[in-house]
Amino acid sequence: MKLDSIRREYRFAALTKQSVAASPIDQFKEWLNDAQRANVNDFSAMSLVTAETGAFPQSRIVLLKDISVDGFTFFTNYDSQKGKAIEKNNKVGLHFFWPELERQVRIDGVAEKTSREASVQYFKSRPLESQIAACASAQSATLTSRSKLEEQYRSLQNALQGDHPECPENWGGYLVRPVKMEFWQGRESRLHDRIVYELVENEWKIKRLSP
């Protein structure tokens, strides 16, 4: 594979300081809607980046489950690697890439646990299989074998006899409150548009960055 000759031009759209919404959340919602309408696969998937002092930064995909004026919500196991990292440093990064629209969004934000009530409510909305899997898997812990995981799943499934499990105490949501959001739109000849919103004294300031 000759990667160094792979390139394409970006011509889908443009972005200006005048055309974007005053609130980055509104701008984000518009782009998320565009991504859904464009049938982008897993359009709500985002990289979540955590960073602990002196350690390698860690990135993984999670699914965005809610967006509000407060920020971005995803759900996970609080005892996972990401949960432990957020415990030590709640400053995180979120990153969306929608190739069909030649767009990316980068978010710096501060993560906090959602209320137990919100976590339980979302847990209950998940299919039974996903609920059992969340209970049966100690996310990010070392497993001796795949069959061990399947055994844990089956034994819980049998014990429940069709009932739904309680939302585990160590499972729930994080709300990421944004402090900075960058919208990137690919443009011709690599002269891309980058519009950044930064929260300064509770107000969103907008500027353009060089590509």
Ligand X SMILES: Cc1cc2nc3c(=O)[nH]c(=O)nc-3n(C[C@H](O)[C@H](O)[C@H](O)COP(=O)(O)O)c2cc1C
- CB 63 to ligand X: min, Å: 4
Pick between residue 2 and residue 146 the one whose CB is nearest to ligand X: 146
Helix, strand, coil percentages in the chain from 3-state DSSP, rounded to 5: 30, 35, 35
Helix/strand/coil for 197 = strand
Q: Judged by CB under 6 A, does residue 47 bind ligand X?
A: no
Can you tell me which of 82, 106, 187, 192 binds ligand X, judged by CB under 6 A?
82
The answer to the question of whether 11 is labelled as a binding residue is no
Q: Judged by CB under 6 A, does residue 44 bind ligand X?
A: no
Q: Judged by CB under 6 A, does residue 130 bind ligand X?
A: no
Pick between residue 15 and residue 107 the one whose CB is nearest to ligand X: 107
Distance, CA of 134 to CA of 73 (rounded, Å) = 17
Distance, CA of 177 to CA of 174 (rounded, Å) = 10
Q: Report the candidate in 194, 201, 171, 182 with the shortest Cα–Cα distance to residue 108.
A: 182
**Catalytic annotation present for 154:** no
**Residues β-bridged to residue 171:** 77
The answer to the question of whether 207 is labelled as a binding residue is no
Pick between residue 26 and residue 42 the one whose CB is nearest to ligand X: 42
Q: Report the candidate in 140, 170, 136, 167 with the shortest Cα–Cα distance to residue 152.
A: 136
The answer to the question of whether 206 is labelled as a binding residue is no
- Report yes or no: 2 and 182 within 8 Å, Cβ to Cβ: no
Q: Specify binding-site residues for FMN.
A: 60-65, 75-76, 82, 104, 139-140, 184, 194
Residues interacting with ligand X, by CB under 6 A? Answer: 42, 45, 58, 60-63, 74-76, 80-82, 139-140
